[in-house]
Amino acid sequence: MVSRVCIAGLSVLGGLLVAGNVCAAEGEAKIDVTSASAGGSSLPPGRGMHNSVSLLANLGYAYSAGTGFGLSGRYQFTIVPEGVIHSPSIHDDFGIEPAVDFFHYSWDFAGYSWTYNEFGLSASVVWNLWFSKEFAAYPRLGLGFAFGSWSDNVGIGNPGGYGGLVFVGGAGVLYQLGSLTLRAELSNASLGLGVAINL
């Protein structure tokens, strides 16, 4: 199941990357024209992710004994508007993204069935790499704390290592479309698809 989820997630990210590269190529052509008259500075994103709220629907695979579904709410604010890359074709920035996550896991094995609900709080550093005014890719890295409850924790196959201090990491893509930003992310715990809006 995990391999299928990873393949599906990579397919989604790959499709968005291909679409984004087309937009990036068009953006580079515009940047080249602009650079000739503006000294070669990179073109900043249309809105960026500063002061944005994201909502993602997640398919979780953190526990090998079952599959989880959940929701994530995130808020991102930019702390370094001008990043470390100085290129006419890429604009980068760094942000902090606190998050609240909820996952529902269920198991049914050898006559035993039970569920596990988990809440998580985390904060990550996000490095946004804008290849055009609309398209970006990003890695994120952070720490969080998860806690949950069982409907019935008596049985076989209970996952080990649930809850407590957790590592948060992943990579995703952004595409700004009108007033919304489409978002897809593959992390160490889930595949997420959603939207973001700027406040």
Residues 99 and 53: beta-carbon distance below 8 Å:
no
> In which residue are the tokens 């944005």 written?
52
Residue-range domains of the chain with CATH: 2-198 (2.40.160.20)
Closest to 67 in 3D by CA, of 75, 79, 58:
58
Query: Could you tell me how far CA 16 lies from the centroid of its own chain?
Result: 13
For residue 155, the SS3 value is coil
Structure tokens at 82: 């001008």
Q: Are 56 and 185 in contact (CB under 8 A)?
A: yes
Per-residue pLDDT of the chain (199 residues; tens, 9 = 90+): 434 444 444 454 445 444 444 444 444 444 343 443 344 445 566 779 999 999 999 998 766 556 689 999 999 999 999 999 988 899 999 999 999 999 888 877 777 777 888 899 999 999 999 999 999 999 999 999 998 887 765 555 555 556 789 899 999 999 999 889 999 999 988 899 999 999 9
Model pTM?
0.74
